[in-house]
Structure 1
Amino acid sequence: MKKILLLALFSITLMGCNDPESVAAEAAQLRAEQHPDRTYVGEHNYYTMESSGDIQFTTKKDLKVMYQDFPRYFIEKAKEWPKEDLNDASSYDLPRFQFAWANSSSKDEYESGIKIWSMKTDGTDLRLVTDVTVELVNGIKNLTRSPNNRYVAWADLGGYKTVYDIKTGKVVELSISMSPLAMLWSEDSRYLYFERARDLFSRWDSETGEINEIDFKIRTKAVLTEDKIIKVTDAAVVGYNLKTDERLFVLSSDRSLSDKERIFRVKSISPTGRFAWGSNQSFAWMFDTKELTVKQMTTDYTPAQILGKDAHFSALDSFAKVRIVDRVGDRVWSWRAFYYGALSGDAILYNGLANNGLWFKEGK
């Protein structure tokens, strides 16, 4: 009887060893013991916490360099990585960045393809937005996100425009020929306005799928409400009443300068349209569309390629290095979010009004 009991126990032990969940748990424990500095997400992906401040931030203004830990992501298998979930409220308690990134240089067509990703402005909660991949040779030039966070739209280097519905997974191709890149969402997220050819504009209806021509011009650096559009042009910020076709205001760069000196090379606008930015190598301007004021800077300024609510925070839009500026507190954070992979195009801000527009939780 004693031998029978021992054999039974031995058999149960072997069955436990072959159980997939047990094997996975043992493998996870082994990884944790071998690499205590890593936090694994799936079997092949992980992140480490690395201090910011080790990368110089080029600026024309003295800023206090901030040192704190941010995640650095190592992703070999994007299919194992969590996708952005519209039903997960915890993902939307801060503004978010969206960007195009090929997470691996492997020969695997999926892993080496450019995909759309997002993360919170404090570097946490990296999510895969869409499995739709773009060949590196085509790249992604322009990205946008609807105000309700549901729709992602992008244009490749040839001008072909695509919309992805996060809720349903549906993909819509808007352009079948090469065209300019301007895209802009309506305030209620129903319509995507886009430039189908030079100075010819259309509107895609997310509810019906219809595409119709429109009779006003849009810019990517703009904010559209039910009856008004505020857009950053080549050398000014202009507001229009769309119902009356009346120009509401023009805030211009310095007209006494030459065209080369007053044309914007960098443009951005805050989520509500209250503030806008334009700059070049010599001059910079901050525009307040509520007070109708223009602040011109020649030396003491920091570029704002991405502009947050009330112009409190800004960032550079190249995410090879993430560089964030607190324009109120004169502080800067600079860190590498990705260990390897290839980025395409520029990052954008969305969900910009979360946390009252502040890019870090209180105490950061």
Structure 2
Amino acid sequence: MKKILLLALLSITLMGCNDPESAAAEAAQLRAEQHPERTYVGEHNYYIMESSEHAEFGRKKDLKVMYQDFPRYFVEKAKEWPKEDLNDASSYDLPRFQFAWANSSSKDEYESGIKIWSMKTDGTDLRLVTDVTVELVNGIKNLTRSPNNRYVAWADLGGYKTVYDIKTGKVVELSIAMSPLSMLWSEDSRYLYFERARDLFSRWDSETGEVNKVDFDVRTTAVNFDGKRTTILDFGVLVVDANTNEEINWIGVDRSLSMDERSLDISSIDPEGHYAWGSNTSFGFFFDIEKGTVKQMVDDFVPAQILGKNAHYSALSKMTYVTIVDRVEDKVWSWRAFSHGAMSGEGILYNGLANNGLWFKEGK
């Protein structure tokens, strides 16, 4: 009888050793013991916390460099990484950055392809937005996100445009021929306006799937908010009624400047269309759109490729090194968010009104 019990116990023990879940748990515990500085996300991915770094800006702007810990991500297997979930409210308590990133140089077609990712403005909560991949040779030039966070749209280097529905997983190809890159969402997230060919513009209806012509220019550096469409053009900011397209206001830079000095080569607009930024190699221009004013600067300014609510925060659009500026308190943070991989195109801001537009939680 004792022999039978011993055999039974041995059998149970051996079964436990062959249990995949038990083996995985043991492997995870071993990794944690060997690398206590790492926080693993799946079997092959992890992040570590590292201090932000010194950041230099030109134009003689005196900014206080801030030092604090941010995540640095090591992602070998994107398939194991958590995807963005519209039902997870904790992901949307801060504004978020969205960007195109090839996380791996693996020969695996999925892992090496460019995919859309997102993270909070404080560097936390990295999420894979979609499994749809784009070949590195095509690249992603332009990204947008609908105001309700549901739809992601991108244009590759040839101008081909794609929309991904995070809620349903449905993919829509909008362009069947090469075309320019401009895209803009309606305030209610129903329509995506886009340039289908040079100076020819259309809108895609997310409810019906129909594509129809529109009779106004579409620019990516624009916002539909509070019934107005505010657009940064080559030499100023145009505000129109979003329903009638009638002009409400035009705020132009100094016309006495040369074309090169007036041109807004770098530009951005805040999520509500209240403030805008433009700059070139000679000048910076800050637009207070509600007041209808523009401030021209020669030195002592920080370019804003991404502009937050009320122009409180701004960021550079390259997400390899995240660089954030508090434009109210003249502070700057810069950190390396990713250990490897290749970025494609420019990062953008979405969910920009969360936390009253502040990019960090209070006390952090």
Q: TM-score range by the shorter chain?
A: over 0.9
Letter in 2 for 1:34: Q
Q: Aligned equivalents of 2:313 and 2:278: distance in 1?
A: 15
Is residue 2:171 matched to residue 1:156?
no
Q: How does 1:193-342 map to 2 (within 5 A)?
A: 193-225=193-225, 227-342=227-342
Q: Aligned equivalents of 1:305 and 1:245: distance in 2?
A: 26
- Percent of aligned positions that are identical: 77
Q: Aligned equivalents of 1:37 and 1:242: distance in 2?
A: 51
Q: Is the 8 A contact 2:229 2:240 kept in 1?
A: yes
Q: CA deviation at 1:270?
A: 0.3
Letter in 1 for 2:58: T
SS in 2 for 1:134: coil
Q: Aligned equivalents of 1:177 and 1:8: distance in 2?
A: 68
Q: Aligned equivalents of 2:226 and 2:289: distance in 1?
A: 17
- What residue in structure 1 maps to residue 344 of structure 2? 344
Q: CA deviation at 1:13?
A: 1.2
Letter in 1 for 2:131: D
Q: Aligned equivalents of 2:14 and 2:241: distance in 1?
A: 74
Aligned residues: 363
Q: Aligned equivalents of 1:6 and 1:194: distance in 2?
A: 73
Is residue 2:184 matched to residue 1:184?
yes
Q: Is the 8 A contact 1:186 1:226 kept in 2?
A: no
Letter in 1 for 2:204: W
Q: Deviations over 1:262-286 (max 9, x none)?
A: 1011010000000011001110111
Q: CA deviation at 1:57?
A: 2.9
**Bigger Cα displacement from structure 2, 293-302 vs 184-193:** 293-302
Q: CA deviation at 1:227?
A: 4.1
- What residue in structure 1 maps to residue 173 of structure 2? 173
Q: Is the 8 A contact 1:98 1:118 kept in 2?
A: yes
- What residue in structure 1 maps to residue 6 of structure 2? 6
Q: Does the C-alpha gap of structure 1 residues 34 and 243 become closer, same or farther in structure 2, counting only changes over 3 Å?
A: closer
Q: Aligned equivalents of 1:36 and 1:83: distance in 2?
A: 25
Q: Is the 8 A contact 1:57 1:323 kept in 2?
A: no
Q: Aligned equivalents of 2:163 and 2:106: distance in 1?
A: 27
SS in 2 for 1:271: coil
Q: Does the C-alpha gap of structure 1 residues 6 and 245 become closer, same or farther in structure 2, counting only changes over 3 Å?
A: closer
Question: Structure 1: which 5+ residue stretches go unaligned?
Answer: none
Q: Aligned equivalents of 2:186 and 2:79: distance in 1?
A: 32
RMSD: 1.1
**Bigger Cα displacement from structure 2, 246-255 vs 79-88:** 246-255
Q: CA deviation at 1:295?
A: 1.4
Q: Is the 8 A contact 1:319 1:343 kept in 2?
A: yes
- What residue in structure 1 maps to residue 56 of structure 2? 57
Q: Aligned equivalents of 1:343 and 1:330: distance in 2?
A: 28
- What residue in structure 2 maps to residue 121 of structure 1? 121
- What residue in structure 1 maps to residue 17 of structure 2? 17
TM score, norm. by length of structure 1: 0.98
Q: Aligned equivalents of 1:139 and 1:214: distance in 2?
A: 28
Q: Aligned equivalents of 2:168 and 2:205: distance in 1?
A: 16
Q: Is the 8 A contact 1:57 1:334 kept in 2?
A: no
Q: Is the 8 A contact 1:306 1:349 kept in 2?
A: yes
**Bigger Cα displacement from structure 2, 58-67 vs 268-277:** 58-67
Q: Does the C-alpha gap of structure 1 residues 47 and 213 become closer, same or farther in structure 2, counting only changes over 3 Å?
A: same
Q: Which runs of 4+ in 1 moved over 3 A?
A: 242-245
Q: Is the 8 A contact 2:183 2:195 kept in 1?
A: yes
Q: Aligned equivalents of 2:39 and 2:296: distance in 1?
A: 46
Letter in 2 for 1:82: P
TM score, norm. by length of structure 2: 0.98
